[in-house]
Amino acid sequence: MAPQGRLLIRGGRVVNDDFSQVADVLVEDGVVRALGQDLLPLRDTPGELRILDATGKLVLPGGIDTHTHMEFRFMGSQSVDDFYQGTKAALAGGTTMIIDFAIPQKGSSLIEAFETWRSWADPKVCCDYSLHVAVTWWSDKIRQLASSVFHFVPLSFALHENKTLVKEEMKTLVQDKGVNSFKMFMAYKGLYMVQDEQLYAAFSQCKELGAIAQVHAENGDLIAEGAKKMLALGITGPEGHELCRPEAVEAEATLRAITIANAVNCPLYVVHVMSKSAAKVVAEARREGKVVYGEPIAAGLGTDGTHYWSKEWSHAAHHVMGPPLRPDPSTPGFLMNLLANGDLTTTGSDNCTFNTCQKALGKDDFTKIPNGVNGVEDRMSLIWEKGVHSGKMDENRFVAVTSTNAAKIFNLYPRKGRIAVGSDADIVIWDPEATRRISAKTHHQAVNFNIFEGMVCHGVPLVTISRGKVVYEAGVFSVAAGDGKFIPRKPFAEYIYKRIKQRDKTCTPTPVQRAPYKGEVFTLKSRE
Ligand code: URP
Ligand code: ZN
Ligand code: ZN
Ligand code: ZN
């Protein structure tokens, strides 16, 4: 048996985001060692080098899924794809890295949440991963608060409160823990939602630290009011989920977040862009020169919200996620157009899977249906089918939106997101002509349904290589829990921060130089 460390991928078409070439790829010790025509390492004796014939196939950087929630404790339940099964499914679909979210409860430590997520993920992941951290609360006055209540709270609590000054924790996460992205929720009122002034504070700290701010952009107050209204109308089924949060609710929050981020000159990343209206807001802001990126997800690109009106409750409930899929059936095609032309930048899956029995927690009240859908396994094939096979994008743009742009934004590039000498050998041998039918019966995820059930996609991963090791081939896995690694990310990604710094330098307002006013000044009457 050849050691897994040495591979020669021969004769494939190597596709990066900027160009493609027919070339061999030599992999050693987990990285790409050489790339070129007819690489014939003469020093090798048979048996030391495994040769993979990729003639007629594409050789792509492994996908980076920018948005997952494995084993997420949420809405009274826990998502069923854990870090083991979820990352295995990712590999089967051609994704070699995920970025999950550590999400603290309001008032709890961000660092503790980060460490907790790491303790869940490290022993289980089959592919490399990283963590975004959510900022679900804010307080600048924590020291005063702790001392003013000091006489009736135990000392340990006061110290804990002292320790969890959010601003300081963000700094530690960036400087010592490899985090360069923070998600703020504008929805989930009472749970994770933060107000505008907290967004302003969190964005300011992101800017200071060289991180990117992410937002879940939906107006949480309007959703809460809308939900009450729907329930009062007797609408308790999954259609109520969409009706209480129409497109405008997403578009308004998207514009608000962009406005606040622009005021701070902080780069902004809008996660799960689900509607035409929100996508247009992102596109318009980019046209105005704002540093904002939009992330559509597999679900929003592959299906729509008409399912919420299905007569079968469970079918409708399976599609419940926030922001919702949109009932306008032209939405997926529209989002794909914007992804193809550069208005939208990256793709994730927001994989957050709950089985039917968990969804049934909301059988009598849609507000109790755990939010989330699948996508980690099918994202790549789905984007190939709806993006490339449909003629909207070429193979290079496919690579850009499935890995390279994410690697650039989250400062993983060129280690990830590129096939080049020195890059991690996260590689997929991709058959662009083969097809597969998506089904819960054959998928590798834990969840008992698939929102893309029955869909036939061109574009099939034949072999997935994770840091130089063949981990998935012809339907067979060779990977163990914990084989993946946590990938720390440094702040001030050039791809986003060069522009931010330039704007700081040249766009900061300056006072008008003028002679002092010497005339009369009205005297204010002092109040009694
Ligand atoms: O419905 C969703 N998106 N569930 C996961 C949590 C989130 O808001 O991303
Ligand atoms: Zn979200
Ligand atoms: Zn349906
Ligand atoms: Zn999410």
Query: pLDDT tens digits for 94-115?
Result: 999 999 999 999 999 999 999 9
Confidence of residue 151 (pLDDT cuts 50, 70, 90): very low
The 3 state secondary structure assigned to 381-427 is HHHHHHHHHCCCCCHHHHHHHHHHHHHHHCCCCCCCCCCCCCCECCE
Q: What is the pLDDT of residue 353?
A: 98
The 3 state secondary structure assigned to 169-211 is HHHHHHHHCCCCEEEEECCCCCCCECCHHHHHHHHHHHHHHCC
Average pLDDT, the chain: 94
Ligand closest to the CA atom of residue 68: 4
Residue 184's beta-bridge partner residues?
Answer: 215
Q: Are strands 50-53 and 128-134 parallel, antiparallel or unpaired?
A: unpaired
- What does the alpha-carbon distance between residue 166 and residue 189 come to, in Å, rounded to a whole number? 19
Q: In this predicted model, what pLDDT tens digit does every residue of 440-472 receive, in sequence order? A: 999 999 999 999 999 999 999 999 999 999 999
b (16+ CB within 10 A) / e for 171-199? eebbeebbbbbbbbbbbbbeebbbeeebb
Query: What backbone torsions phi and psi does residue 215 show, to the nearest 5 degrees?
Result: -130, 140
Q: What is the pLDDT of residue 40?
A: 74
- What does the alpha-carbon distance between residue 343 and residue 296 come to, in Å, rounded to a whole number? 11
> What pTM did the predictor assign?
0.94
Q: Are strands 268-270 and 292-294 parallel, antiparallel or unpaired?
A: parallel
Q: In this predicted model, what pLDDT tens digit does every residue of 355-401 receive, in sequence order? A: 999 999 999 999 999 999 999 999 999 999 999 999 999 999 999 99
Query: What does the pLDDT average to over 308-328?
Result: 98
Q: What is the pLDDT of residue 1?
A: 37
Q: What is the pLDDT of residue 508?
A: 87
* Distinct helix (H) and strand (E) counts, the chain: 18, 18
Q: What is the pLDDT of residue 47?
A: 62
Percent of the chain at pLDDT > 90 equals 91
Query: What backbone torsions phi and psi does residue 449 show, to the nearest 5 degrees?
Result: -150, 170
Angle, helix 276-287 to helix 331-341, in steps of 10 degrees: 20
Query: What does the pLDDT average to over 140-160?
Result: 43
- What does the alpha-carbon distance between residue 58 and residue 409 come to, in Å, rounded to a whole number? 25
Q: Cα of 306 to ligand 3 centre, how many Å? A: 7
Q: In this predicted model, what pLDDT tens digit does every residue of 7-66 receive, in sequence order? A: 999 999 999 999 999 999 999 999 999 999 998 765 555 668 999 999 999 999 999 999
For the CA of 372, the closest atom of ligand 1 is 1
Peptide bond into 370 cis (omega under 30): no
Q: In this predicted model, what pLDDT tens digit does every residue of 3-22 receive, in sequence order? A: 457 999 999 999 999 999 99
Scan for tokens 């854990």, then name that residue: 82
Q: What is the pLDDT of residue 42?
A: 53
Q: In this predicted model, what pLDDT tens digit does every residue of 507-522 receive, in sequence order? A: 889 999 999 999 999 9
DSSP character at residue 305: G
If phi > 0 it is left, if psi is from -120 to 50 it is alpha, else beta; for residue 348 that is: beta
CB-count burial class (<10 Å; 0-12, 13-18, 19+) for 290:
middle
Query: What does the pLDDT average to over 196-211?
Result: 98
For the CA of 271, the closest atom of ligand 1 is 9
Query: What backbone torsions phi and psi does residue 358 show, to the nearest 5 degrees?
Result: -75, -40
Give the pair of three-digit tokens for residue 410.
């989250």
The residue whose CB lies within 8 Å of the most ligand 1 atoms, and thus the one to mutate among 295, 321, 349, 354, is 321
For the CA of 322, the closest atom of ligand 1 is 1
Count of CB atoms situated within 10 Å of the CB of 6: 18
Q: Cα of 215 to ligand 3 centre, how many Å? A: 29
* Closest residue by CA, ligand 1 atom 5: 372
Q: Which of 217, 206, 209 has the alpha carbon at shortest distance from 258?
A: 217
- How many residues comprise the chain? 528
Q: Cα of 451 to ligand 3 centre, how many Å? A: 9
Q: Cα 4 vs. chain centroid, distance in angstroms?
A: 30
* Closest residue by CA, ligand 1 atom 8: 322
- What does the alpha-carbon distance between residue 430 and residue 461 come to, in Å, rounded to a whole number? 5
Please, which residues have CB less than 5 A from ligand 3, an ion? 307, 310
Question: What is the rounded radius of gyration, in angstroms, for the C-alpha atoms of the chain?
Answer: 24
Q: What is the pLDDT of residue 345?
A: 98
Q: Cα of 273 to ligand 2 centre, how many Å? A: 10
Q: Is residue 257 pLDDT above 90, yes or no?
A: yes
Q: Is residue 149 pLDDT above 60, yes or no?
A: no
The residue whose CB lies within 8 Å of the most ligand 1 atoms, and thus the one to mutate among 66, 68, 69, is 69
Q: What angle do CA 451, 453, 455 make, to 5 degrees?
A: 115
Ligand 1 environment, Cβ below 6 A: 69, 216, 272, 321-322, 350, 352, 371-372
The 3 state secondary structure assigned to 314-350 is HHHHHCCCCCCCCCCCCHHHHHHHHHHHCCCCCCECC
- What does the alpha-carbon distance between residue 481 and residue 127 come to, in Å, rounded to a whole number? 9
Residue 248's H or E segment, with its range, is helix 247-264
Helices (H), 45-131: 83-92, 110-121
Q: Is residue 150 pLDDT above 90, yes or no?
A: no
Please, which residues have CB less than 5 A from ligand 4, an ion? 350
Query: What backbone torsions phi and psi does residue 430 show, to the nearest 5 degrees?
Result: -115, 130
